[in-house]
Structure 1
Amino acid sequence: MERKLIFMPRVFSSLFFALALSACGDAAMNFPVTKAGQAQLDGVTIIRLDQTYSGGADTLHSGHAVTNLPAVRRSEYRIGAGDVISIFVFDQPELAVPTSAETVTTGYLVRSDGNLTFPFIGTVEARGRAVEDLRLELVRRLSEFFPEPQVDVRVAEFASQKVVVGGEVAAPNTQFVQTSSLTLLEAINAAGGLKKDADTKAISIRRGGQNYRVDLEGFLSGSVAQNNPVLAGGDVVSVPRKTIREAYLLGEISKPSTVDLTETPLSLTQALSRQGGLDDLRADARGVFVFREIDGKTTVFQLDTSNPEGYLIGTRFALRPMDVIYVTRAPIQRWNDAISRFLPSVNATRAVRNL
């Protein structure tokens, strides 16, 4: 019996010593970033979300990223090889369009070398020139043969600058850039419009050997004007099929699950609310973390929701597909979990000693 009495205090002493250490550690627990700003921990960037944080698109409720496709200026059309140019000289019937290998019924063909041939003056460089520039050149050179020639120049057929539109559109086709600039939305409409399963948030434009992502939905929603870019000759537009985009909510949340970001962007606060919010008994409201991969590296956003201001900040933080939201356990819950792990051992020891 004496041996039993000595043994049991040692067990309880060890138990409460471990629990005391756990409680002290939890009570003094510091999160990676305790003030405004960011820090590095084991190669991971940790950013605290508060009123001073400004993270560009990450804080926009719309969640629409601005495309990095280089802008094309809305400028005059430049003639290119394959275009057919209509040239009419008033009161000069002998300059009517002849029929030859270098002409078609509607005008003069710009050859592969960028030139066209016109009666009396011969070869004229056309490629890369604006229509008005070419007209002035013809007037100057025809003035050597006719007094004050009146010349009208137009592009009769556009064939030098092509844009290909494919993917989830009703009628994939090839379009030609004309005198008026061709925007992405106009090109898609000219291809019969979008199919039901088209993903307007991830349209790809290939230009100069490089692919650029364009979130057209950002333009359609009225928030990002740059996401309806002017297309350039040679662009290839591909509209992908819509796939499910999700973010993941884990840890001490009432209903850990996924949230669908396919159709509608969600803020961090919205996502937490849809899953019932934080677990009142287990969650540490100070420890809401969003894990996100940026340029191949992990970035963690840290939010304190222990007061209403935290949830307000969360309404301005837009989630992205593949984000992982994790809510840590509260210190008191860690205490309870520790007790629940030790008690079976204590009870088992009691049962053995009572035999």
Structure 2
Amino acid sequence: MNPKATRWAKSVAMVATILAVSSCDVLPRSGPTKREIYAGSVQREGDAFVIAVNDRVTRATAVIPALGFSDSFRNAGAVAADVIRPGDTLSLTIWENVDEGLLASEGVNFTSLDSVQVDGAGFIFVPYAGRIRAAGNSPEAIRRIITEKLQDQTPDPQVEVRREAGDGATVTLIGAIAGTGVYPIERPTLRLSGMLAAAGGVAVAPESAQITVIRGNQRSTIWFQDLFDDPRYDIALRNGDRILIEEDTRSFTVLGATGAQSVIDFESQTLSGIEAIAQAGGLQANAADPTGVFVFRNEAEEVAAQVLGRNDLIGAQRMVYVLDLTQPNGMFMARDFLIRDGDLLYVTEAPFTQWDKTIAALTGSLGSVNALSTLAGQ
């Protein structure tokens, strides 16, 4: 082959390779560049607001999930533990001050009546005393009633009444708890904390556990930790309450030049931008652009209006918050900015990374061109 033609072919191939490689579209990368994200902003006729995070933004977006028992739950007084209800079970022991009594067997001066259940109307039946109203009374009141009924038939009767766990006053515990089941409301379990302890405690990390109490058609949810931080949340239980223990289901997505690219669960009630970066394994030292940390979010209308200082917004808005970790207060901004459920945390690659990829691709491409040229000249 003509040497001039060979050199000309090599030159054409080299120029073509440089032009192809210099185009960003042919280089592998983890996502859009910082320039491309800004190009999609509303300010440049895009459909998302790109906002630099500052103190005003952190205050406007500091929306924490509102959990807490309603007033009707918190203000309910404790139910008396010894009040008998329909479905409860009683045990009775009756002593008679005679050798041959009404109820006692021969040679024994007492009799035991076990598992006497209070019927749906609230009554129990005691031989020789008849049908007695039990529901609404305490064991002591029932003892006095039975004593009065029997004392005209046997001298100086002595009566003991004990309330056992029954079907009347119970709550149901389900979900992430050590012992799911139906539990009676007794003196140690009048309140929520005592009932949870009786069931063996929660079976998930306390930091991410949520407690929902369902009472009739009402329901309220709190964080497990709040139960012990605020005594008002240790509410009195009611018959038929259902207690559901769940693990926090909030999560955020991480993409770009970070240590991990995945969906990550929240590990605490609140999560800051700097904590989210740390959970993702930090920024890749050889690839990440610390000036290009973005948080993508669909922001509620009222919050977006505060952030943008506008009153003409309609509905949720697409917002892209920018964290520049190289600024003097950049780390503080990232620490104060709260991540929310469903957020996308994206870290762009540094310009040097793209340049390095270009050089690497160019070097490899030129080597291939030279090899082809060598083969063509043989």
TM-score in terms of structure 2 length:
0.51
Sort the Cα spacing of 1:15 and 1:243 in 2 relative to 1 into closer, same or farther, 3 A.
same
Report the counterpart of residue 349 of structure 2 in structure 1.
329
Sort the Cα spacing of 1:30 and 1:290 in 2 relative to 1 into closer, same or farther, 3 A.
closer
Deviation of 1:218 after TM superposition, in Å, equals 3.7
Report the counterpart of residue 234 of structure 1 in structure 2.
240
Find the aligned partners of 2:360 and 2:288 in 1 and give their Cα distance.
17
Partner of residue 162 from structure 1, selected from 170, 181, 192: 170
Sort the Cα spacing of 1:77 and 1:274 in 2 relative to 1 into closer, same or farther, 3 A.
closer
Confirm or deny: 8 A CA contact 2:33 2:348 kept in the other structure: no
Partner of residue 174 from structure 1, selected from 183, 190, 193: 183
Find the aligned partners of 2:227 and 2:298 in 1 and give their Cα distance.
25
Report the counterpart of residue 267 of structure 1 in structure 2.
272
Find the aligned partners of 1:251 and 1:311 in 2 and give their Cα distance.
19
The code of the aligned residue for 2:240 comes to G
Partner of residue 251 from structure 1, selected from 252, 256, 260: 256
Report the counterpart of residue 313 of structure 1 in structure 2.
333
Sort the Cα spacing of 1:339 and 1:165 in 2 relative to 1 into closer, same or farther, 3 A.
same
Report the counterpart of residue 94 of structure 1 in structure 2.
none
The code of the aligned residue for 2:351 comes to P
Deviation of 1:264 after TM superposition, in Å, equals 8.9
Check if 1:287 corresponds to 2:295.
no
Aligned length in residues: 284
Counterpart secondary structure, 2:360: helix
Deviation of 1:184 after TM superposition, in Å, equals 2.2
Find the aligned partners of 1:173 and 1:328 in 2 and give their Cα distance.
53
Sort the Cα spacing of 1:56 and 1:177 in 2 relative to 1 into closer, same or farther, 3 A.
farther
Report the counterpart of residue 38 of structure 2 in structure 1.
31
Sort the Cα spacing of 1:219 and 1:31 in 2 relative to 1 into closer, same or farther, 3 A.
farther
Structure 2 segments unaligned to the other structure (5+ residues)? 26-31, 90-112, 125-132, 139-162, 300-315
Report the counterpart of residue 67 of structure 2 in structure 1.
66
Confirm or deny: 8 A CA contact 2:256 2:349 kept in the other structure: yes
Deviation of 1:278 after TM superposition, in Å, equals 2.0
Report the counterpart of residue 201 of structure 2 in structure 1.
194
Structure 1 segments unaligned to the other structure (5+ residues)? 59-64, 85-104, 117-123, 132-155
Report the counterpart of residue 212 of structure 2 in structure 1.
205
1:103-152, Cα deviation, whole Å (9 max, x unpaired): xx9xxx99746899xxxxxxx9x99xxx9xxxxxxxxxxxxxxxxxxxxx
Report the counterpart of residue 141 of structure 1 in structure 2.
none
Counterpart secondary structure, 1:284: strand
Deviation of 1:315 after TM superposition, in Å, equals 1.9
Partner of residue 370 from structure 2, selected from 340, 350, 353: 350
Confirm or deny: 8 A CA contact 1:219 1:225 kept in the other structure: yes
Sort the Cα spacing of 1:28 and 1:247 in 2 relative to 1 into closer, same or farther, 3 A.
closer
Check if 1:339 corresponds to 2:363.
no
Deviation of 1:82 after TM superposition, in Å, equals 5.7
The structure with the largest alpha-carbon Rg is 2
The code of the aligned residue for 1:66 comes to L
Report the counterpart of residue 217 of structure 1 in structure 2.
225
Find the aligned partners of 1:177 and 1:49 in 2 and give their Cα distance.
53
Sort the Cα spacing of 1:331 and 1:256 in 2 relative to 1 into closer, same or farther, 3 A.
same
Deviation of 1:291 after TM superposition, in Å, equals 6.7
Sort the Cα spacing of 1:48 and 1:162 in 2 relative to 1 into closer, same or farther, 3 A.
farther
Sort the Cα spacing of 1:8 and 1:54 in 2 relative to 1 into closer, same or farther, 3 A.
same
Sort the Cα spacing of 1:210 and 1:348 in 2 relative to 1 into closer, same or farther, 3 A.
farther
Percent identity of paired positions between Structure 1 and Structure 2: 19
Root-mean-square deviation (Å): 5.8
1:179-236, Cα deviation, whole Å (9 max, x unpaired): x994422322344x526x444433453624787654212443x3x7776555443112
Find the aligned partners of 1:35 and 1:50 in 2 and give their Cα distance.
19
The code of the aligned residue for 2:15 comes to S
Find the aligned partners of 1:10 and 1:303 in 2 and give their Cα distance.
43
Find the aligned partners of 1:50 and 1:83 in 2 and give their Cα distance.
61
Find the aligned partners of 1:48 and 1:113 in 2 and give their Cα distance.
68
Find the aligned partners of 1:340 and 1:82 in 2 and give their Cα distance.
80
Find the aligned partners of 1:83 and 1:26 in 2 and give their Cα distance.
69
With 48-57 and 317-326 compared, the bigger mean Cα shift is at 317-326
